[in-house]
Amino acid sequence: MNWLRPASQLLSLLSFVGTIVPAVLYVYGLLNLDQTKSWTLVATVVWFAATPCWMDRPAEKANASKEMT
């Protein structure tokens, strides 16, 4: 499960960017408002699913707890 932490960090990064990108695309007229709301919600769900897996968890401690389980 050593891949879990970097994978969740990558997802967090993507969702972090994904939270603001729909608004930027809306400003440039590339998304309509409903699409903007939907993509922002998707990014929000991914952020809250992925980020708790690594934030506030020191790497060694997280790995240790994984190994114990």
Site for another protein, rule CB under 8 A: 16, 19-20, 22-24, 26-27, 33-34, 36-38, 40-41, 43-44, 47-48, 51-52, 55-56
Tokens 């960017």, residue? 17
Q: Give the span between the Cα atoms of 3 and 64, in whole angstroms.
A: 14
> What is the nearest approach in angstroms of another protein to the Cβ of residue 34?
8
> What is the nearest approach in angstroms of another protein to the Cβ of residue 51?
5
> What is the nearest approach in angstroms of another protein to the Cβ of residue 50?
10
Provide the residue type at 64 as one letter.
A
**How many helical (H) and strand (E) elements, i.e. helices and strands, does the chain have?**
3, 0
